[in-house]
Homo-oligomer: A and B are copies of this chain.
Amino acid sequence: MSEVKAYAAKKESGDLSQIEIERRETTKDDVAIEITYCGVCHSDIHTVQNDWGGAMYPVVPGHEIIGRVTRVGDNVKDFKKGDLVGVGCMVDSCQTCASCKEDLEQYCENGATMTYNGEDKHLGGHTFGGYSESIVVNQKFVLTIPENLDEKAVAPLLCAGITTYSPLRQWDVKKGDKVGVIGLGGLGHMGIKFAHAMGAHVVMITTSPGKAEDAKKLGADEVLISKNEEEMEKHANSFDFLLNTIPVGHDTNPYINLLKRDATMVLVGAIEPLDPIHGGGLVLKRKRLAGSLIGGIKETQEMLDFCGEHDIVSDVEMIDIEEINTAYTRVKDNDVKYRFVIDMKSLKES
């Protein structure tokens, strides 16, 4: 191990190009993975551009990682060389706080170690993600990938998948519920697939009439154009649950108006200030607004097993690593159906 090839962003340009990085040796609790595929998440771009602050350069993004086990430490019993595995947004957490004990490592009171741009407890400095030949991860943060699924298309499940699956489970979406998925992108297309597989009546809510046909192919029963005030009013007070995947600040009031009494809208994308919410929209029918962040490791495995049973993967467009900068531009233009995945062979060949 130690020196491996990776693709990273430099502070000056935000463009990604090849560098050498260090990976730690495999400790007794570690799994070493040769990365075969890595999804391209909008968070990668936010970090590379330092949109949220706190970016540590060089940034090696990538937290939708698929690969094959190459080596395991002595304490590792659940994984062996050759296994198809995944790594998501986290590679470590304290394992002792209340959240970790409830299998909610993403809410670790002491701060989970994120897969990239996190504090590296082993080598010092910061963690490097999956735009790389290989990765070494503590066994508790390694996921088993069902072998019946197309592994290329599994990669985005590790972030876009669990981010949408977790709130649907947490808020107990079930057969017959009227569920709205707001926004059709990487997260939204997974939200439709999951809500449909859970037996809900799924309404895709989008500003773009052009997305209607696609939404129905993905499993939506109806499409509601949010710019159409008359249609929005027809659906007022009728939704059991809303999954809001819009990735930027926006006016949530028209969506809150769609909720039934006591129903919840969950934000999974907008980590930004929202337009002013009218208190009356919540008070008058005891409505609820919440947020949700990815999911814990146990639930991520449950999600992957659910995908194995229901034959669910992401819709992906494959790229070579050299195309990454173009892919970023297209993600920002919302021009991908619905997730870019990097074939990491292209890194070895480059």
Which residues of A are interface residues toward B (Cβ below 8 A)? 99, 104, 107, 109, 170, 237, 249, 261, 264, 267-293
Q: How far is the CA of A43 from the CA of B99 in the complex (A)?
A: 41
**14 cross-chain CB contacts under 8 A:** A99-B261, A104-B261, A264-B288, A267-B282, A271-B280, A271-B284, A272-B278, A274-B276, A274-B277, A281-B291, A282-B291, A283-B291, A286-B292, A288-B289
Docked-complex contact B261 and A107, CB < 8 angstroms:
yes
- One complex includes copies of this chain to the number of 2
Q: How far is the CB of A173 from chain B (nearest CB, A)?
A: 16
CB < 8 Å neighbour of A290 from B270, B275, B287, B292: B287
* Chain B residues near A291 (CB-CB < 8 A): 279-287
| Complex Cα gap A292–B270 (Å) | 25
- By beta carbon, the residue of chain B nearest A286 is B292
Q: Please, which residue of chain B has its CB at the minimum distance from the CB of A260?
A: B98
Shortest distance between the CB of A325 and any CB in chain B (Å): 27
Besides the known contacts A107-B285, A282-B289, 20 further A-B residue pairs in the complex with CB atoms under 8 A apart: A107-B261, A107-B286, A109-B237, A170-B286, A249-B276, A267-B282, A267-B283, A269-B279, A270-B279, A272-B279, A273-B278, A274-B276, A274-B279, A275-B276, A277-B277, A280-B291, A283-B293, A284-B291, A286-B291, A286-B292
Residues of B within 8 A of A290 (CB): 282, 286-289
Q: Which residue of B lies closest to A264 (CB)?
A: B288
Pairwise interchain contact A273-B277, C-beta atoms closer than 8 A: yes
Q: Could you tell me the distance between the alpha carbons of A332 and B282 in the complex, rounded to whole angstroms?
A: 24
Q: Within the assembled complex, what's the spacing in Å between the Cα atoms of A275 and B276?
A: 5
Residue of B nearest to A271 (CB): B280
Q: How far is the CB of A188 from chain B (nearest CB, A)?
A: 16
Given contact pairs A286-B170, A287-B290, A291-B286, A276 touches B276 in the complex (Cβ within 8 A):
yes
Residues of B within 8 A of A293 (CB): 283-286
User: Given B109, B170, B279, B287, which contacts A249 in the complex, CB threshold below 8 Å?
Assistant: B279
- A248 closest partner in B (C-beta): B279
- Assuming the contacts A99-B261, A104-B261, A261-B107, asked whether A280 and B289 have C-beta atoms less than 8 A apart, the reply is no
- Residues of B contacting A272 in the complex (Cβ-Cβ under 8 angstroms): 278-280
